[in-house]
């Protein structure tokens, strides 16, 4: 008996050791470039320590006067981070609900179209979107904000999977029939019955859309629009320190948000789009 317990304990100790060694090595690799960035942004021209870069970054007035690109890019990305999830939700939630209720025959086609962007990398999408954006520019003007149309396509597969899982978990048909029989119109069904029931899925889909939007470079750069990433790229050529500092601040901020969310019962891996592709787990039978 005690021999078996001794064996267990030895196994545990080996496992603990293994865990700490692996985690330490990988985390060191993860932290090296971040430490490099921190080191780089806290040096002045003479190689001495200085907090110049970071204090400039905190000074909104200095940023907007000395780095107009950064200001433009930041504002554009902020706008995109609102517009992209908004269009995505307006497009997907009603359509997916409606398809479940009234036109179930179209569900395979909707799924196919939503997952199609997985096989179309952003760089390929740019090639195909060039003529389409010529029209967008013609009708709506050249503002960066219209990139949101393309970003919605990029988030489509991940948002679809999230919302599909949410809608699958509730009985859309019964809920809407109950509401309809009590005299609710379709709008009421959508806003007051369906939406509150899938709010977790809606939140995680929107979160993904925001994360993807803030990190997008390919489309914006090739269409010569300035969003946050493009601004960082442009700045990297003139004032690399500020650019690296913005990147680092952005990363630390996202990490703090995610880490806090993990305690608030947020969903695991919510920001990595590709991870959300996994099919929803089947219920144990």
Q: Which is nearer to other proteins, 169 or 272 (CB)?
A: 272
- Terminal-to-terminal C-alpha distance of the chain: 37
Q: What is the DSSP letter of 270?
A: T
Where in 10-49 is the site for other proteins (CB under 8 A)?
15-16, 18-19, 22-23, 26-27, 29-30, 32-37, 39-41
* Closer of 19 and 192 to other proteins (Cβ): 19
Per the DSSP assignment, residues forming a β-bridge with 43 are 49
Q: Which of residues 170-209 bind other proteins (CB under 8 A)?
A: none
Q: Looking at 56-64, 87-95, 177-185, 194-202, which segment touches other proteins (CB under 8 A)?
A: 87-95
Q: What tokens does 123 get?
A: 């760089």
Query: Of 158 and 201, which CB lies nearer to other proteins in the complex structure?
Result: 158
Question: Hey, which residues between 221 and 280 contact other proteins (CB under 8 A)?
Answer: 221-222, 229, 232-233, 236, 240, 243-244, 246-248, 250-251, 254-255, 258-259, 261-263, 268-275, 277-279
Q: What is the maximum span of the chain, computed from C-alpha positions, in angstroms?
A: 81
* Interface with other proteins in residues 204-223 (CB under 8 A): 211-212, 215, 217-218, 221-222
Smallest separation, CB 10 to other proteins (Å): 12
Give the residue, chosen from 13, 102, 173, 192, that forms a contact with other proteins under the rule CB under 8 A. 102
What minimum distance in Å lies between the beta carbon of 68 and other proteins?
Answer: 18
Which position among 54, 63, 98, 170 is part of the footprint of other proteins (CB under 8 A)? 98
> Whole-number minimum distance, CB 224 to other proteins, in Å?
9
To 10 degrees, the CA torsion angle through 120, 122, 128, 129? 130
Q: How far is the CB of 197 from other proteins (least distance, A)?
A: 19
Residue 119, CA distances (Å) to 92, 113, 114, 115, 157 in order: 20, 11, 11, 8, 10
Q: Considering only CA atoms, which of 204, 175, 205 is closest in space to residue 191?
A: 175
| Burial status of residue 257 (CB atoms within 10 A of its CB: 0-12, 13-18, 19 or more) | middle
CB of 207 to other proteins, least distance (A): 10
Distances (CA, A) of 231 to 72, 80, 220, 259, 282: 8, 14, 10, 27, 44
Give Rg (Cα) of the chain: 24
Judged by phi (left if over 0) then psi (alpha if -120 to 50, else beta), residue 140 lies in alpha
Q: Give least dist CB 71 to other proteins, A.
A: 17
Q: Which of 131, 141, 183, 196 binds other proteins (CB under 8 A)?
A: 131
Q: Which is closer to other proteins, CB of 54 or CB of 217? A: 217
Among 138, 135, 123, 145, CA closest to 219: 123
Binding segment for other proteins (CB under 8 A), chosen from 50-58, 62-70, 108-116, 173-181, is 108-116
One DSSP character per residue, 30-91 reads HHHHHHHHHHHHTB-TTS-B--HHHHHHH-HHHHHHH-HHHHHHHHHHHHHHHHHHHHHHHH
169 interacts with other proteins by CB under 8 A: no
Give me the least distance between CB of 116 and other proteins, in Å please. Answer: 6
């Amino acid at each position: 008996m005690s021999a078996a317990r001794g064996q267990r304990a030895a196994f545990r100790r080996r496992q603990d050791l293994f865990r700490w060694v692996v985690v330490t090595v990988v985390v060191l690799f993860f932290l090296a470039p971040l430490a490099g960035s921190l080191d780089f942004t806290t040096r002045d021209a003479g190689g001495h320590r200085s907090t110049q870069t970071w204090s400039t970054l905190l000074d909104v007035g200095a940023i907007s006067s000395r780095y107009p690109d950064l200001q433009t890019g930041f504002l554009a990305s902020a706008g995109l981070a609102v517009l992209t999830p908004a269009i995505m939700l307006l497009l997907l939630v009603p359509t997916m609900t409606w398809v479940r209720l009234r036109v179930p025959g179209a569900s395979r086609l909707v799924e196919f179209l939503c997952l199609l962007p997985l096989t179309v990398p952003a760089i390929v999408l740019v090639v195909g979107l060039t003529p389409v954006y010529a029209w967008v520019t013609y009708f709506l003007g050249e503002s960066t904000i219209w990139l949101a149309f393309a970003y919605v396509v990029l988030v489509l597969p991940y948002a679809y999977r999230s919302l599909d899982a949410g809608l699958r978990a509730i009985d859309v048909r019964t809920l809407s029939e109950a509401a309809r029989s009590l005299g609710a119109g379709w709008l009421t069904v959508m806003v007051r019955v369906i939406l509150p029931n899938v709010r977790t899925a809606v939140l995680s889909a929107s979160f993904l859309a925001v994360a993807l939007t803030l990190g997008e470079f390919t489309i914006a750069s090739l269409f010569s629009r300035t969003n946050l990433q493009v601004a960082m790229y442009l700045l990297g050529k003139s004032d690399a320190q500020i650019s690296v500092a913005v990147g680092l601040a952005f990363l630390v901020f996202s990490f703090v948000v995610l880490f806090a969310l993990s305690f608030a019962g947020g969903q695991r891996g919510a920001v990595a789009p590709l991870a959300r592709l996994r099919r929803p787990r089947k219920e144990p039978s």
